[in-house]
Chains A and B, each alone.
Chain A
């Protein structure tokens, strides 16, 4: 057994819970918006302060778990001494490594592309109505890109532990 099995199990547990919170939120978004519908000025009406607080909390509830998912994922690889082989896509570690790279891209996409635009769309920072409508398209594509990327990521994550036979 590589690494500390108790630490490994705890990291995996936290990794799963945080990942379900994050990607579950993304999948709910797909259900709410199966097709892109451009925002209208009516959609940007002023909301109550209480609603804005709830909205901010909801968005924080998947942004921060994304960091927990990444850190616990890296932690699991590190405690097994697989980190460099995984990220270098060497040997059988290439399977979980591909998942790790996709996950890293997803976290960067969320924090560097989606969130700066989402802040404007939802009114957390001031922006003109035209700018908010433009940003809504970018946040949609960014979120939907993560939906697409989650499909191979979940495959490689599962296959790395339970399906290595597929790669023989």
Chain B
């Protein structure tokens, strides 16, 4: 089966964006506290 990235669908893109936001938020929080 051919691989389809999750953001092939609109909802997939929104979920990817929210997960990415959560990950980057934690990274930036660590950077600010450094």
Question: In the complex the two chains form, is A148's CB within 8 Å of B24's CB?
Answer: no
A98 partner residues in chain B, CB cutoff 8 A: 24, 27-28
Q: Which of A8-16, A53-61, A88-96 contacts B (4 or more CB under 8 A)?
A: A88-96
Question: Using Cβ atoms and an 8 Å threshold, which residues of chain B touch A152?
Answer: 17, 20-21, 24-25
Contact of B29 among A34, A149, A167 (CB under 8 A): A167
In the complex, how many residues of chain B place their beta carbon closer than 8 angstroms to a beta carbon of chain A? 22
Of the 9-residue stretches A66-74, A126-134, A139-147, which lies at the interface with chain B?
Answer: A139-147
Taking CB atoms, residues of chain B closer than 8 Å to A102 are: 24
Count, A-B residue pairs, CB within 8 A: 64
A36, closest chain B residue (CB): B8
The digit string for B1-34, where 1 denotes a CB below 8 A from any CB of A, is: 0001101111101101110110011011101110
Is the beta-carbon distance between A151 and B20 smaller than 8 angstroms? yes
Size category of the A interface is 20 to 34
Complex contact A35–B8 (CB within 8 A): yes
Output the residue of A89, A151, A156 with the most chain B CB within 10 A.
A151
Residues of chain A lying within 8 A (CB to CB) of residue B33: 167
Chain B: CB-nearest residue to A33 = B10
Does A104 sit within 8 A of B, measured CB to CB?
Answer: no
Any B CB within 8 A of the CB of A150: yes
Bound state CA distance, A95 and B13, in angstroms?
Answer: 23
- Contact assessment for B28 and A35 in the assembled complex, using a CB-CB cutoff below 8 Å: no
Query: Contact at A147–B28, with CB atoms within 8 Å?
Result: no
Q: B residues bordering A, Cβ < 8 Å?
A: 4-5, 7-11, 13-14, 16-18, 20-21, 24-25, 27-29, 31-33
10 other A-B residue contacts (CB within 8 Å) besides A35-B8, A35-B9: A34-B10, A91-B32, A141-B7, A148-B16, A151-B21, A152-B17, A152-B20, A156-B24, A167-B29, A168-B32
